[in-house]
Amino acid sequence: MRDIKERVRDKNPKIRNPAARLPKELVRSAVLEAKEKPRDLHEKSSGQSDSPTQYGTEKIESVQYRAASVAGKTIGKTTYRGGKKLAGVTYRKIKERKSRQEEAKAAEEAMEQGAESGKKLIKLKPEHAALAKENGKRQVKAAPRVVIVSGLSQEKIKTQASIQTQQVEKSLQAMQKARAVQMARKSVQASAESGKAVLQVKGKGSKLSVQGITATIQKGGVALEKMGKWIAAGGGAFLLVFILIAGIIAGAAFSSSSESSESLSDEVLAYTSVIQQYASQYGIPEYVSAIQAIMMQESGGRGTDPMQCSESPYNIRFSHSPGSITDPNYSIEVGVQTFADCISQAGSSSPQDMDKLKLAWQGYNYGNGYIGWALQRGGYTEANALQFSQEQAASHGWSSYGDPEYVPHVMRYYSGGSLFAGLFGNQQIVSVAMGQIGNSGGQKFWSWYGFDSRVEWCACFVSWCADQSGLIESGNVPKFSLCSDGVTWFQGKNKWQSGGTTPSAGMIIFFDWDHDGTSDHVGIVEKYEGGRVYTIEGNSSDQVRQRNYAVDYSSIMGYGLIN
């Protein structure tokens, strides 16, 4: 049988011709392919799936038509129909390709316009990108959001990308600036609406009311809005508003820019208890901060004569030559006694009476009758301080006399007489209260309040300390003689902290001894340390005393917040 097949093959040259065997090979390939393809992957144009047999039949017919076409033969209507079908398919493909090219061109033009304007970033569809890659007319680089087309040069693309990035950054910055300005405006308006105190600047006979402060703050808000392009967003805007408002208040309270508050040195702070002792002894316990400012200006708390008061007539232990005192505590005693005399001569009633306080400060530096001389001329001014210095220097034949700018220099270290005492008066009220430790009977406090005879004076004591610290004038603490009134005020202002929580220095502490919901006693928090609350209380066994309690002590009703 094998020999017969070989002889037939040798006699028939077409069998040896690969072209003659081509249809059979193609048919075999088509059949194998039809068997391997899943039936559900093939769909006709009508949407129906071909069976493997139908698909194989069509493949066979297609191969036959192709072979006949190559051989230049015709196989009748079947060939015609196959050619017509193939032509239809080809036409549709050409039409679809042309349509895709037009879409790709339109997309490219839109992309170029977006690159130029920096406003639109267009991404081509995957089929468009593939088509562009196939026909070689375009080169598409896919990116997460941007498609770069080779129609633009690489340099131009980089430049446009940089421009787009800058535009996005500018847009974000503009949004942040707008938000910052809006927050700043709201903060300024809220601060202007919340102000209640009236600040009087008597040095030049002028009065600055809340309305004036409000107007100034509003002007500051307008200026702040204009400066919006320099303002950072978020917490930075809040800080700038805070500095602006603080600067406005400070400018209203202090007539000189040199009178800004600076920190006290550690050496001066170390003498606080000694200053409080002598301030209380000589009747000016509320002026502790004013005395600290003097010491800071005189010596910074250093040396054996920190108050630089050896020339004072109250120095009876050492010579009156400069710097002769060698006992720091004695220097403080003499200095406080000297300043108390200046306060009395100037007629100062409280640390908030800035005109009289300035007169007392300059008198401490000049001595020699300056206070009486200045009172005849309307009180302290920088001009008459300079005039007095020049007159004294001329009369003694000296090149200079004292410090004509002593008051501005001292004011750098003092904040007790300004509205800052209302904003940051925690430590101030503690200092004032500590200066009253040991007072017995409380007559000083209940008579100040307006009573003709003794009353339970713990609340009068707290109110007096708050007044001396500027907290009543600033509206941060009420003037009250009944503990229950104080509780009502703080709770009504949402400035209340419940008992059992951790307090801080300067808070007003209220007690309820019998736990009936009504406060029976009040004091001032000195400090919180080691789980205990340390206080200064008036009318504690009819004296001003220091006490301490566990932080969770059940009789602590709560705390009034002073800022």
- Amino acid identity of residue 220, one-letter, is G
Is 490 in contact with 550 (CB distance < 8 Å)?
no
Place of tokens 């205990």: 532
User: Nearest to residue 317, comparing CAs of 300, 305, 303, 299?
Assistant: 305
Q: Is 539 an active-site residue?
A: yes
Residue in 292, 298, 302, 301 with CA at minimum distance from that of residue 311: 298
First to last CA, the chain: 117
Q: Is residue 210 a contact partner of residue 198, using CB atoms and an 8 Å limit?
A: yes
Catalytic residue among 365, 426, 476, 539: 539
Amino acid at 226: K
In the block, tokens 């800035």 appear at 354
Contact predicate 359/381, CB 8 Å: no
Q: For residues 374 and 394, what is the distance between their CA atoms, to the nearest angstrom? A: 18
- 340, 284 contact by CB (below 8 A): yes
309 is catalytic: no
Catalytic residue from among 458, 460, 465, 483? 458
> From CA 412, how far away is CA 258, in angstroms rounded?
7
The 3-state DSSP class for residue 454 equals coil
State which H helix or E strand residue 333 sits in.
helix 328-346
Cα dist. 192→97, 182, 196, 393, 453 in Å? 70, 15, 9, 48, 41
Q: What is the token pair recorded at 230?
A: 């320099």
Burial of 273 (0-12, 13-18, 19+ CB in 10 A): exposed
CA distances 550 to 120, 496, 512, 554, Å, are: 67, 19, 15, 9
CA atoms 471, 473, 478, 480: torsion sign: positive
SS3 234: coil
1 class by beta-carbon count within 10 Å (0-12 exposed, 13-18 middle, 19+ buried)? exposed
Element (H, E) at 522: strand 521-529
Region label for 518, one of left (φ > 0), alpha (ψ between -120 and 50) or beta (otherwise): beta
Structure tokens belonging to residue 99: 């349509």
Q: Which helix (H) or strand (E) holds 525?
A: strand 521-529
> Looking at the annotation, which residues are catalytic?
458, 521, 539
